[in-house]
Chain A
Amino acid sequence: MNNLDFVTSDYYFWFLPAVFLCTFVIGNKQRRKQIAILLVSSYIFFWFASGWHILLLLISTLVDWNAAKNIYLSNDSKVKKRWLKGALIINLGLLGIFKYLDFIIETWNWSTLRITGAPEIDTLGLLLPVGISFYTFQTMSYTIDVYRGKSEPYDDFISFACYAAFFPQLVAGPIVRSDHFRKEIESTLTPSAMRFRLGLTLIVYGLAKKLIIADNVALHVNAIFEDSSGLNNIGLVWWGALAFGIQIYCDFSAYTDIAIGSAHLLGIRLPENFDSPYGATSPQDFWRRWHISLSTWLRDYLYIPLGGSKNGPRVLLFALMGTMLLGGLWHGASWNFVLWGFMHGLLLILHRTLKDTKPVANLFEKLPRISCLLGWVVTQYFVFMTWLVFRLEDTSLLIPSLKTYIGIGGHWNISEMADILPEVRYLTFAIAIIFLIGHFVSWKIGGVKNWISRQNSVVWGVCIGVMLMLTLSLRPVETVDFIYFRF
Chain B
Amino acid sequence: MEIDKSLREENVQSLSLSISIVFLVFILMSSTFNSFIIKPLLRDGSLIVHGRYMITFDALDTVEADEGASVVAIGSSITRASIDGSCIENFSSIRDLEVYNLGLSAANPYTELMQLTALINSNPDIVLLEAGVNSFWDIDSQNRTGGINEESYIEFRMRLNSILMDDSDFGNWTEIIREKDREFLFDDYFSRNNETAKYSNEAIEELFSRFVLDQSNAAKTTSWLRAPETSDESWEDYLSTPNYRIGVWNNGSMIEDWEAWFENNMQERSKFGEFNPQHSGTLFHTVMEHIVEELTRNEITVILIATPRNPMVFDYLEPGQTDGLNSSLSNLTISDDVIVENMFWETWDKDEFLDRNHLNDNGRQKMCEILAPKIDTILTGE
Contact = CB atoms under 8 A, between A and B. Distances in A.
Contact of A461 (B8, B22, B29): B22
> Which label, helix, strand, loop or mixed, suits the secondary structure of the B interface?
helix
Interface stretch (A39-47, A191-199, A443-451): A191-199
> Which label, helix, strand, loop or mixed, suits the secondary structure of the A interface?
helix
A206 to B, nearest CB: 16
Nearest to B14: A193
Interface string B1-39: 000100110110011011111111110011001000000
A154 B7 CA distance: 30
A68 B33 CA distance: 57
B201 A465 contact: no
A457 B204 contact: no
Contacts of A475: 197
A427 B22 contact: no
Identify the interface centre among A192, A196, A465, A466: most chain B CB within 10 Å of its CB: A465
Given A427-B204, A465-B25, A465-B29, A457 B11 contact: no
A457 B198 contact: no
B209 interface: yes
Contacts of A425: 205
Contacts of B212: 426
A423 B208 CA distance: 12
Interface in A430-470: 430, 457-458, 460-462, 464-466, 468-469
B5 to A, nearest CB: 10
B193 A465 contact: no
A461 B25 CA distance: 8
A462 B30 CA distance: 13
Nearest to B19: A461
Nearest to B37: A473
A399 interface: no
Interface string A418-430: 0000011111001
Interface residues of A, number: 30
A473 B197 contact: yes
A367 interface: no
A370 interface: no
A404 B21 CA distance: 50
Contacts of B286: none
Contacts of A27: 4
A97 to B, nearest CB: 40
B4 to A, nearest CB: 7
B11 A469 contact: no
A160 B197 CA distance: 43
A426 B18 contact: no
B194 interface: yes
A56 interface: no
A197 B201 contact: no
B202 A466 contact: no
B11 A424 contact: no
B326 interface: no
B193 A472 contact: yes
A473 B197 CA distance: 5
Interface in B176-206: 193-194, 197-198, 200-202, 204-205
17 contacts: A27-B4, A190-B4, A192-B7, A193-B11, A424-B205, A427-B201, A457-B14, A460-B21, A461-B18, A461-B22, A462-B21, A466-B25, A472-B30, A472-B193, A473-B30, A474-B201, A474-B204
Q: What are the 8 tightest A-B residue pairs by CB atom distance, in nearest-first order? A: A461-B21, A465-B25, A426-B208, A473-B200, A193-B11, A457-B18, A469-B29, A465-B22
Interface of A: 27-28, 190, 192-193, 196-197, 216, 423-427, 430, 457-458, 460-462, 464-466, 468-469, 472-477
